[in-house]
Amino acid sequence: MSDVVVVNCTVVDGRAVDGVGPVADAAVLVRGERIALVGPREDVLRQADGATEIDLGGAYVTPGLVNMHTHLSLSLPGKGGESVKSLTSHELALYMADGARRTLHCGVTTVRCVAEKDHADFALRRAIEAGMATGPRIFTAGQALVCTGGHGHEGSDTLECDGTDGFRRGVRTQIKAGADLIKVMISGGIAGEHERIDTPQLFADEMAAVLATAHAWGRKVTAHAGPASVIGEAVELGLDCVEHGYQLTPEVAARMAERGTALVPTLLVTRCKEFFDELGVPEWMQCRSLGAGPRHLESYAMALAAGVEVLLGSDMPPFWDFEGTSATVRELEYMSEGGLGPARALHAGTLGPARWLGAEEDIGAVEAGRYADLVAMDADPLAATSAFRTIRWVMKGGRVVRDDRAGGGNRA
């Protein structure tokens, strides 16, 4: 790959919350897969002899987004979900590959998968890394761990376990397959017909076994969890991240902040009737989900007030066309509107996730040495998170994968 220099842009990233201001009239020099230099245009161009120039026409450039709650094989109750469940293994791989391509094109250059069917996520990750498929960088939990009959037990994206030995074996099974993290279901949720959101599903010794085993192998643990009592117990045991957190209390949120437990709030899942209707989701699930919406927002506000680290995750497929934009961008807008604000939302969608994943040397900022995972948009994301609706150019690892400029074409 020849050197590329991106010019005529303003560079903005999540370090704005730490006082690192935008670089106006900037340039980004890319060598191979990584950024070699970022700074004022004239300074960079002096070191860019022979580089291919890409003029972004005054766009704002940020790191690619990181979606921390992704299911590329999602199958909710209803007709849409049943059609995914009926796919053969070959069809499932192609379906997920198409979703990965669409995810990358909407500006999500990294995903954290938190329950995928049949370990197809590992094959997809290998294919993307080998250049045989187009998609984001994948960090994955493999199959989520559940108790017998627990949340999500109906699909092949979960593994049923019981007792401390069973959950230890479940953790090791995912790590053996190549998991970067562990996902465990510790309460009921909105998609389980025979449970409630506040149904506890693991005993303390089972949760402790998951955490001890995963941490011994250098893996973090994230938990699907709704009620404060269940979350509070897991936080005391060392939980690294909470998914959803529908029913937090100020006390539990404060303890999460003290212990460094992050929250991926997935605000979309309790305010997405249009999506549910599109998939034919049954009435019982719609009522439970949408009915949880007001309390969900209250919980999110409690987390922000307590200083909990919040991270972007849509739960809905990242690329899904929803309310005029992608599900990823709409989730980030909801997070911003719910009290986070544009600068912290940018951090929650880029550098925050990179740090949780232990990948901050590679992704999450527009900085020399990191991968050239970049998106360009027409509006300023520090002024309004809705700027991400105007994404028109995407680069991953130094390769342009989307280019909506006149004559730019789409290269992947």
Is the entire prediction scored with pTM above 0.85?
A: yes
- Span 82-104, average pLDDT: 96
Q: What is the per-residue pLDDT for 149?
A: 92
Does 411 have pLDDT greater than 70?
no
For 337-381, write each residue's pLDDT tens digit.
999 999 999 999 999 999 999 999 999 999 999 999 999 999 999
For 23-50, write each residue's pLDDT tens digit.
999 999 999 999 999 999 999 999 999 9
Q: Quick one: which of 330, 340, 328 has its CA closest to 300? A: 340
Q: What is the per-residue pLDDT for 199?
A: 86
Average pLDDT, the chain: 95
Q: What is the per-residue pLDDT for 45?
A: 96
Contacts of 94 (CB under 8 A, 6+ apart): none
Q: What is the per-residue pLDDT for 17?
A: 82
d(CA 205, CA 10): 51
For 264-295, write each residue's pLDDT tens digit.
999 999 999 999 999 999 999 999 999 999 99
For 124-134, write each residue's pLDDT tens digit.
999 999 999 99
Contact 378, 60 (CB under 8 A): yes
CA-to-CA separations, 268 to 230, 264, 293, in angstroms, rounded: 22, 11, 9
Q: What is the per-residue pLDDT for 195?
A: 77
Q: What is the per-residue pLDDT for 21?
A: 85
Q: Quick one: which of 242, 250, 208, 213 has its CA closest to 225? A: 242
Q: Which domains does the chain have, with CATH numbers?
A: 4-64+364-403 (2.30.40.10), 65-356 (3.20.20.140)
Residue 409 pLDDT level (bands cut at 50, 70, 90):
low
- Span 218-225, average pLDDT: 98
For 133-164, write each residue's pLDDT tens digit.
999 999 999 999 999 998 878 889 999 999 99
- Span 319-328, average pLDDT: 97
Largest CA distance in the chain: 65
Q: What is the per-residue pLDDT for 376?
A: 98
d(CA 10, CA 52): 19
Q: What is the per-residue pLDDT for 164?
A: 98
Measured in degrees and rounded to the nearest 5, phi and psi for residue 145 equal: -95, 130
Does 243 have pLDDT greater than 80?
yes
